Amino acid sequence: MKNSIKHAFILVLMLVVISTEAQTFEEIIGFEDSVSDTNAAPIYYLIPIAIAIGVVLGIKKLK
């Protein structure tokens, strides 16, 4: 029983150390916090068209 508790504690400790190192590794590399997430073209008009085509094909498949 004591060995399993000891192993569980060591496992949790290792996971905490690994996750802490993973979070600080980004700072070592030098990632910037600002990201430019702009789309080349909006696709909002394609979504209703795709849904309509899917409905038509689904109805045809059910008949």
Q: What is the pLDDT of residues 18-39, one digit of tens each?
A: 766 555 555 666 666 676 667 6
> Residue 51, by phi and psi: left (phi above 0), alpha (psi -120 to 50) or beta?
alpha
**pLDDT higher than threshold 80 for residue 48:** yes
The reply to whether 7 falls in a domain is yes
Based on the structure, what is the number of domains in the chain?
A: 1
pLDDT band at 57 (very low <50, low <70, confident <90, very high): very high
Tell me which range, 12-16, 22-26, 41-45, 55-59, is most confidently predicted by mean pLDDT: 55-59
The reply to whether 12 falls in a domain is yes
Range of the domain at 14: 1-33
4 closest CA partner among 12, 17, 19: 12
pLDDT band at 55 (very low <50, low <70, confident <90, very high): very high
Q: Which residue has the higher pLDDT, 46 or 42?
A: 46
